[in-house]
Amino acid sequence: MASNRLRAQPFDCMQHFYSAVQEPLIRCSVRFSSHLNEDVLKRAVDLSICAVPLIGCCFDKVAHCWRKRGFTADNIVYLVEVHSGDDVSDRKLLLSSIDSTREPQLKIFIARGEQCDTLCIIISHMISDGAGFKDFLYLFGDLYSKCDKDRGYRTKPKYFGKRDLNQLLHHFSLTEKLRILFSRGPSYRPDPAMILPIEGDPVNPIIVIGRIEKERFTGIVNFAKSSDASVNDVILAAYIRILHKVTGCVDIAMPCPVNLRKYKKDDQTCGICNLTANYFCHVNVVSGESFGDTLEKVTKQMREQKVSDSCLKGPMLYHLMFYMLPYGIVRKFFYKYSPVPVVSYTNLGILDAAKFNFGNLTVDEAFISTAVKSAPYFQLSVSTYNGCCVLTSSLYATKEDRETVEGFFDLMENELESL
């Protein structure tokens, strides 16, 4: 008899550790110009489970492993009738939760309006990071396209591949691994004063959305090129400057997620998994300094870390401990030395319109967002689709908190627009 148990990777358990502070979930909103076919969508979901079997599993937090539960699309996809253009209903669906110990690791709502549909896709961060989620979305859209074109399509996609960190580390020699382990990585000591003035409301999750439309975003891209910086550097510099203005904090330390898939070989395929570490941007903001001065500091630090392998040190140490020490000790060590940052930033990158398609359906808008934070925790998430950059922050908030975050986003957009 086949075992119903699947091995959990160290990064899976790390995201479970985070659940002490936040629900480890990633979300994607996809608005179409028309209606999709619910039956076709469900068949695409069932086929996607073949490539990513953890979708149909529950996490066993006692044995810290995955248990197969035989979930299908009927347990994952929900059709909800909404009024056309009802962003409030769409956002409430997008903020839905997943109990990773009892439910499938994927939840999809079809928010059906009179003229068009919006997909609200929620996935457990325990099985995927942002880059892996984008790979899943491309696969999902491709399966929908194939099932829509051929209503008898039943070809199962291949299993996506390995999910462990070693798939990247085996490229390094023993000497290189030791050099990384004994290297001195950047320190992360955030100023306790760097906290936004939000109170929080544990029963009221909200998502605040800011959009930088295509024409304006093109201007930011051009500014970044002329400044010999990345677009991410520009957005991060703006974020740091507004944090300085709002909190009065001068010494700002910011963790910035890095996709470790940059270490894979060109022909290598990674599974849907978590392969993320952090760079750390530590900037001292001088009152009255120009945007260019702040950007120069950010770019210098990010460049230094991009050419270094030091971002691998933390993941390597964590994985060594995970396999060498009792689970309870690893968990305690993690809570002590790797706490969730109170104020954070994540750029989920570009959702490629050429790869993300649903056959004859037109995707009018899409963005990715992250976990719902509880006060005082706050995160800015950034994603781009079809030339439009979307800023989001999800949090449990009061009405006044919403106004505070909306004001923060206004300042961010004004800072970027001034470029």
Q: Which range is least confidently modeled, 3-12, 82-91, 124-133, 168-177? A: 82-91
Interval 348-390: pLDDT, tens: 999 999 999 999 999 999 999 999 999 999 999 999 999 999 9
CA neighbor of 163 nearest in space, from 294, 276, 48, 275: 275
Report pLDDT for 339. Answer: 81
pLDDT of residue 1: 41
- Say if CB 47 and CB 157 are below 8 A apart: yes
Instruction: Name, in order, each residue with C-beta under 8 angstroms of 309's C-beta and a sequence gap of 6 or more.
Output: 176, 179, 180, 183
What count of other Cβ atoms lies within 10 Å of the Cβ of residue 240? 23
pTM of the model as a whole: 0.94
pLDDT attached to residue 143: 96
Q: What is the pLDDT of residue 222?
A: 96
Token digits of residue 364:
């009018």
Distance CA 122, CA 105 (A): 8
3-state secondary structure of 31: strand
Q: 211-250, pLDDT tens digit by residue? A: 999 999 999 999 999 999 999 999 999 999 999 999 999 9
Q: Distance (Å, rounded) from C-alpha 138 to C-alpha 247?
A: 39
**Is the per-residue pLDDT at 43 higher than 60?**
yes
Q: What is the rounded CA–CA span in Å between residue 396 and residue 398? A: 7
pLDDT of residue 314: 92
CA distance 394 to 275: 23
Mean pLDDT value across residues 317-326? 94
Residue 57 DSSP one-character state? E
Q: Would the pLDDT of 2 be above 70?
A: no
Q: Answer yes or no: are the C-beta atoms of 304 and 158 closer than 8 Å.
A: no
Q: How far is CA 52 from CA 23, 158, 163, 303, in A?
A: 21, 9, 11, 34
Amino acid at site 411: L
CB 136 within 8 Å of CB 354? no
| Residue pLDDT, tens place only, 239-298 | 999 999 999 999 999 999 999 999 988 878 888 999 999 999 999 998 889 999 999 999
Domains and CATH numbers, the chain: 5-149 (3.30.559.10), 186-348+372-417 (3.30.559.30)
Q: What is the pLDDT of residue 86?
A: 67
Q: What percent of the chain has pLDDT over 70?
A: 98
pLDDT digits (tens, 9 = 90+) for 384-417: 999 999 999 999 999 999 999 999 999 999 999 8
Q: How are beta strands 363-369 and 251-259 bridged, if at all?
A: unpaired
Return the percentage of the chain with pLDDT > 90, whole number: 81
Say how many residues make up the chain: 419
Which residues does residue 14 pair with via DSSP β-bridges, in sequence order?
none
Query: Which band of pLDDT confidence, cut at 50, 70 and 90, is reported for residue 135?
Result: very high
Cα angle 8, 13, 17; round to 5: 165
User: How large is the average pLDDT for residues 143-153?
Assistant: 92
pLDDT digits (tens, 9 = 90+) for 100-112: 999 999 999 999 9
Residue that the structure tokens 């009802």 belong to: 86
pLDDT, residue 85, reads 64
User: What are 91's two structure tokens?
Assistant: 């956002």
- The total of other beta-carbon atoms located within 10 Å of residue 258's CB is 17
Q: Calculate mean pLDDT across residues 151-162.
A: 82
